[in-house]
Amino acid sequence: MFKNRSFSLLLTGQSLADIGDILYIVSVISIIYRFTNSAIATSFVPFIITTCMLISSLLTPLITTKVSLNQLLTISQGFKTAVILGLALYVQWVGDQPMIGFVFLLIGMVAFLDGCANPIRQSLLPHYVEEKDLLRANSIAETVIQSIQVGSWFVGSSLLLLFTPSQLIWGVVVLFFMATLLLKLLPDVARMERPQKKKWVLFMQGWQSIHQTPVLKVAARMDLLESMAGAVWVAAILLVFVEEALQASSQWWGYLNGIFFIGMIIGSMICLKWTKFIERKKAMFISGGALLSAIFTLFFAVSITPLMALLCSLLIGLCGQLKNIPQQTIIQTSVSKEKLPTVYTSLNVIVTGVFGLSSLMMGMLSEWYGIRVVFFLSASMLLLVSVIAYKNKTSFT
């Protein structure tokens, strides 16, 4: 698979960008939390990110008719580099007293560019990989990316002991610049020509594909609930859980994130090792993975020691990946490659819109009723996902 130059370029460029994203989030959350010491204030970070990504996702179908997918990915990464450079200069200039509103503005700009890039990355893979290799390609991509993210969360939280958030952001600038150069080398993908269609039709095309494809309707309902459940894992809420529920140092924040991604790596490697078996049992892995994720999230909510929370985080990541990779492959093969960008854009609207509101709501609930309550809510939503998957298992075969 790595002999596929296009796949390797896409994977390497995305990996560097993901490392930069994690270090950037670690730095920004650290700046805001230290400055405000408020869970609600830090919860505004994921809320702003997802709101801006939602707006961007709505505009993406229009842009894909003007620019090819690979060019759009390169352009968005280039602009992200420029914005992060501006953030680095600003934080360097003001020191420990940033204007939080301006920091939120720059965060929103980065998120707007991410909202355009994320569905494009997912849509590009079927252009560079044959359909028979998609599950294997998804497994390899997830293994590599999550492996890198493990190191990023572990190292990122530890680097805050050695460097200031401002210095970490300068490192992000370098990583983003390298990612832009690699993505620039991607082979051209034909631009989608739809001159006869009005803008409103382009906006609705992805939703129509979801409505007309039973498996996509099921996936959309599952994504909605999973987005609500996943809001508890944003860095801002997890940091509060570590400090208030576990009574541990902030380093455990990075450890919990890191072990979660180790679980995802193990799940990806299982999918890679037993590709043919999972291909035949996709419905079982999707519904079973959601059920086990709900159970381990419940155990995480009642964790009384950091080690117990670490084990639960590992298993949640593993089970989630055993569900997500087969589901991702089903989505990629459910419609034609030409329709994938609009389908992913519509699914991204669901995910980002619901996730943004949920992250803000979870932040408020954690401050009003206690941090453990929101993890109980997350477990109940994942249980509903498993029920939906089981009732619609014929759609995944």
Boundaries of domain holding 332: 5-183+198-396
What is the helix (H) or strand (E) element at residue 330, kind and residue range? helix 306-332
pLDDT of residue 378 exceeding 80? yes
Give the residue from 179, 189, 164, 171 showing the smallest Cα distance to 68. Answer: 189
CATH number of the domain encompassing residue 175: 1.20.1250.20
**190 found inside a domain:** no
Per-residue model confidence as pLDDT tens digits over 102-155: 878 888 888 888 877 777 777 777 778 777 777 777 778 777 776 776 666 667
d(CA 302, CA 244): 13
**192 found inside a domain:** no
Q: What is the mean pLDDT of residues 325-345?
A: 78
Please say whether the beta carbons of 381 and 229 come within 8 A.
yes
CA distances (Å), 380 to each of 213, 226, 305, 345, in order?
Answer: 27, 10, 22, 27
Angle at which helices 306-332 and 282-301 cross, to 10°: 150
Residue 2: band (very low, low, confident or very high) from pLDDT cuts 50, 70, 90: very low
Alpha carbon dihedral 286, 288, 294, 299, in 10-degree steps, equals -140
**189 found inside a domain:** no
Please say whether the beta carbons of 330 and 393 come within 8 A.
no
Per-residue model confidence as pLDDT tens digits over 166-200: 788 888 999 999 999 998 888 877 655 555 555 55
Write the burial class of residue 394 (CB in 10 Å: 0-12 exposed, 13-18 middle, 19+ buried): exposed
Per-residue model confidence as pLDDT tens digits over 29-74: 777 767 766 656 666 776 787 778 777 777 776 676 677 778 888 8
Among 24-33, 40-49, 248-257, which is the least confidently predicted range?
40-49
**10 found inside a domain:** yes
**34 found inside a domain:** yes
Residue 98: band (very low, low, confident or very high) from pLDDT cuts 50, 70, 90: low
pLDDT of residue 1 exceeding 60? no
d(CA 48, CA 357): 9
Torsion sign (Cα): 324, 325, 330, 332: positive
The pTM of the full predicted model, rounded to 2 decimals, is 0.66
pLDDT of residue 158 exceeding 80? no
87-92 LR contacts (CB < 8 Å, sep 24+): 87/169, 88/166, 88/169, 88/170, 88/172, 88/173, 91/31, 91/165, 91/166, 91/169, 92/166, 92/170
Give the residue from 263, 85, 42, 279 showing the smallest Cα distance to 172. Answer: 85
The total number of structural domains that make up the chain:
1
